[in-house]
């Protein structure tokens, strides 16, 4: 019954929102004319038509953005995990490096984007670098927290068993920190498509004929193609759902057999 409500209620609210959208667009068209209405608030079916007409271009743009998001995400997760292991290895390492990581994270992307373009060029390299910058901090922060907050009783048990430092890290701290790491990875996965689109806005190019989603947003906006602009927003939203869904599935697969948080969710 709960699952039925979870499907039925969003469907009903979606129908209501669609009806409101059509009503507002129709009233606006009656007052200002259909040409002005198409520019300001297009009908939903006009957006669908634009999505179909621009499907080839948007498909290429989506592939480019998805590739940049994936590369940036993998780099953020890999580098973030390695850096977390380094930060958790000793207190003095964390105290020495963590403040500078915070400084880097607090620096706005709009400031870093021109620097990346200057250093590594416009297009995919800069877009990937921007995606990486947006996504790596959640991985570092969450994984480091998990590694340093391991249950003290378990650590003492390992010490009583004469376990080496390597064994303590491999068999205790890393498994204990896994839920923290995966939570950071989920956040990074949510931010990756956003970072790739933002990177495309700041550093995108149309090499190869078509740019990414962010570049198409700039192009359609300059040409006052509002239905196409809404269609691009829909594609970006859909890409985000796919990306986050894949990361959530990986999170569930890695924790489902042993971690109580995932098992509790399954029971509910």
Q: For the chain, how big is the Rg over CA atoms in Å?
A: 23
Q: Is the pLDDT of residue 266 over 60?
A: no
Assigned CATH topology for domain 43-262: MetI-like fold (1.10.3720)
Domain boundaries, the chain: 1-41, 43-262
31, exposed or middle or buried, with CB in 10 Å at 0-12, 13-18, 19+? exposed
Q: How would residue 258 be classed by pLDDT, with cut points 50, 70 and 90?
A: low
Question: Which position has the higher pLDDT, 74 or 205?
Answer: 74
Contacts of 85 (CB under 8 A, 6+ apart): 143, 147, 169
Q: Cα–Cα distance between 167 and 13 in angstroms, integer?
A: 53
Tens-place pLDDT, residues 128-177: 999 999 989 999 999 999 888 888 888 888 888 888 777 887 788 888 88
Contact 61, 215 (CB under 8 A): yes
Q: Cα–Cα distance between 179 and 134 in angstroms, integer?
A: 21
**What's the confidence (pLDDT) of residue 108?**
86
Tens-place pLDDT, residues 39-64: 788 889 999 999 999 999 999 999 99
Q: Is the pLDDT of residue 28 over 60?
A: yes
């Amino acid at each position: 019954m709960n699952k039925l409500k979870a499907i039925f209620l969003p469907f009903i609210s979606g129908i209501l929102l669609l009806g409101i959208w059509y009503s507002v667009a129709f009233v606006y068209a009656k007052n200002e004319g259909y040409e002005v209405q198409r520019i300001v608030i297009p009908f939903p079916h006009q957006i669908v038509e634009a999505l179909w007409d621009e499907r080839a271009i948007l498909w290429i743009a989506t592939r480019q953005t998805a590739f940049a998001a994936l590369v940036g995400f993998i780099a953020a997760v890999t580098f973030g995990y390695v850096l977390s292991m380094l930060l958790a290895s000793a207190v003095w390492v964390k105290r020495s490096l963590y403040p500078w990581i915070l400084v880097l994270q607090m620096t706005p992307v709009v400031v870093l984007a021109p620097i990346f373009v200057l250093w590594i060029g416009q297009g995919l390299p800069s877009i990937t670098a921007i995606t990486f910058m947006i996504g790596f901090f959640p991985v570092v922060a969450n994984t480091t927290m998990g590694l340093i907050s391991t249950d003290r009783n378990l650590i003492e048990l390992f010490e009583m068993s004469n376990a080496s430092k390597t064994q303590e890290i491999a068999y205790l701290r890393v498994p204990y920190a896994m839920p923290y790491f995966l939570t950071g990875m989920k956040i990074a996965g949510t931010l990756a498509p956003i970072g790739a689109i933002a990177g495309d806005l700041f550093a995108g190019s149309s090499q190869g004929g078509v740019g990414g989603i962010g570049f198409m947003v700039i192009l359609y906006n300059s040409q006052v193609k509002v239905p196409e602009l809404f269609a691009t927003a829909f594609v970006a939203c859909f890409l985000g759902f796919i990306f986050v869904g894949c990361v959530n599935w990986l999170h569930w697969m890695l924790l489902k057999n042993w971690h109580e948080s995932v098992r509790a969710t399954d029971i509910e």
